[in-house]
Structure 1
Amino acid sequence: MTRLSLINKNIFFYKNSNKIKKKKKCIKVELKKKFSIFLFFKLQSIKKKFLLVRFIRRCYISGRNRSVYKRFDLNRNLIRKLGLFGFLIGLEKSSW
């Protein structure tokens, strides 16, 4: 299980990314109307830590951040376990 602080950090990035996105969009519109160095530097000064790029996709059950499938939002180990019992619709374990 992942630490709670990592999960909270992920939630923080997701919530604040929308605010920053709106702010960036307003500055870009102003820049298109009239170019100024002040607006350009204002756009560059936006901190990268608030952007959605920093958001890390995690498994809902285990919290693992590696090998997470977008379709199920689960990691490969849990997909295999749940698929074996038929809990995932559209997925069945094939063995020969």
Structure 2
Amino acid sequence: MLMHGLEIQTAARYGLAVIFVLIDNQAHGNPQLRAREVGDFETEFLKLPSHDWAKIAEALGVVGITVSEPEKLSETFSYALQLNKPVLIHIKAGNYPTPVKISPF
């Protein structure tokens, strides 16, 4: 979203019924998880600030919804489908390691 998120405005401009799903773990995912093995500075360096992506989407003409509880995902998607217009679902998630560690080489 930080690099290419404004494309949602195109969907709003043309009234495209697209559901954008943003899984926000406030980090550069895997690089931050690997940084934990190096030290605190490296881990903090790769953290990203939290933004209210639903409000940003609304400012661009897209319906914005924030979800932070997994049990609300189903009803949120059902609601978004019924709207028949562009919707951004901002899912607040944690940054958890993958269950399998893969060697980079």
TM-score between the two structures when normalised by the length of structure 1: 0.32
Answer 1 or 2: higher relative contact order, Cα 8 Å, separation at least 6.
2
Task: Pick the structure with more helix per residue.
Answer: 1
TM-score between the two structures when normalised by the length of structure 2: 0.30
Q: In terms of Rg, which structure is larger?
A: 1
Task: Pick the structure with more strand per residue.
Answer: 2
